[in-house]
Amino acid sequence: MILLPCLWRCRRADISLYFPRPDLVSGSPFYKDPGIWRDALIYFMLVSALASPYLYRLSAAHERSGRDLVLVLDASGSMAESGFDRNEPDKRKFDVVKSIVSDFIKRRYDDNIGVVVFGTFAFTASPVTYDLNSLNQILDMVDVGIAGQNTAIGEGIAQAVRSLGFGHAKEKMIILLTDGRHNSGSVSPAEAVEEAKKKGVKIYAVGIGKKGEFDEEILKRAANESGGKIFSAIDAEALKSVYKTIDGLEPSPLRSEDRTERRPLYIYPLLVALALLGGRVYFVSAYPWRRS
């Protein structure tokens, strides 16, 4: 009975709601609040960045002027010796060779180039390709001893001839580099050179180091019988000159393949999201009474 007067008064009173922040409750629709749209845009941009969008561009096949060329590199144990570069005497012979070969590759834009590495055995580090940037990355990962400590020159030549079998240029060439004597492998240098002659592959043989350290007779026979040339380099400067000489050889027509280039685009929505988020943080910290 005591509550009856209260019920009567409550029915006559206006209904009221109490909020500590009455400015947040306005009569305007939510979609008129710019903060809502800003936060939605931040969310959308972050989701777009996480989706990792890409732009694809197809490069059609076109005629290129060059040759199929395989670089055959000796990675046996002796290539770890230092002193080949007089300017950097502590640098390993193999690292000096890789640096010079890498510069040579960059200049041979019109060639299809592959890399074969040999030691106790031989393997193809990279098939012939016109993607010279990827080729240099592969070359950078090759190191002394990756194919064993011995020197299988015949295996290196034979593996290069097999790699050239997949190329399409009229002119095919091997640049063989070694600092030692043939002492390993199931294929002799003579057998490998004979196979190169049958396939029309020229061999340019490069012996590095002092006379007598590398097998000059084998290199001379390989070059002469295949129609190539023999070079020798006692140090890094001489080796640079050798590759400059080879760089002047006449090119032959070569047709490239279709290639698809992929460009990542996620950075653009990510930058927009970060800019908006940074603006929001600044606004809230600079004007705390106007949070939106």
Residue corresponding to tokens 């057998």: 191
Query: Cα–Cα distance between 52 and 34 in angstroms, integer?
Result: 28
Q: Are 201 and 164 in contact (CB under 8 A)?
A: yes
Would you give the DSSP letter of residue 53? -
The domains of the chain are located at 63-255
Q: Please write the tens of the pLDDT for every residue from 251-286.
A: 655 555 556 677 888 888 888 888 888 887 777 777
Q: Please write the tens of the pLDDT for every residue from 174-202.
A: 999 999 999 999 999 999 999 999 999 99
Q: Please write the tens of the pLDDT for every residue from 205-233.
A: 999 999 889 999 999 999 999 999 999 99
Query: Cα–Cα distance between 274 and 16 in angstroms, integer?
Result: 42
Strand boundaries in 60-215, DSSP class E? 63-66, 68-74, 112-118, 122-129, 172-178, 201-208
Query: Cα–Cα distance between 175 and 147 in angstroms, integer?
Result: 18
Q: Is the pLDDT of residue 63 over 60?
A: no
Phi and psi angles of residue 92, each rounded to the nearest 5 degrees, phi first: -65, 150
Q: Please write the tens of the pLDDT for every residue from 120-147.
A: 999 999 999 988 899 999 999 999 999 9
Torsion sign across C-alpha atoms 229, 232, 236, 237: negative
What does pLDDT average to over the chain? Answer: 84
Of 289, 291, 280, the residue nearest 38 (C-alpha): 280
pTM reported for the whole predicted model: 0.66
Question: Which tokens hold the place of 264?
Answer: 């990542």
Q: What is the pLDDT of residue 62?
A: 54
Query: Cα–Cα distance between 229 and 118 in angstroms, integer?
Result: 21
Query: Cα–Cα distance between 206 and 175 in angstroms, integer?
Result: 7
Of the CA atoms within 13 Å of residue 198, those in its CB half-sphere come to 10
Mean pLDDT computed over 81-93: 95
Mean pLDDT computed over 32-43: 77
Confidence of residue 291 (pLDDT cuts 50, 70, 90): low
Confidence of residue 3 (pLDDT cuts 50, 70, 90): very low
The CATH superfamily holding the domain 63-255 is von Willebrand factor, type A domain (3.40.50.410)
Q: What is the pLDDT of residue 217?
A: 95
Mean pLDDT computed over 161-169: 90
Query: What is the residue type of 134?
Result: S
Residue corresponding to tokens 């194919």: 147
Query: Cα–Cα distance between 180 and 187 in angstroms, integer?
Result: 16
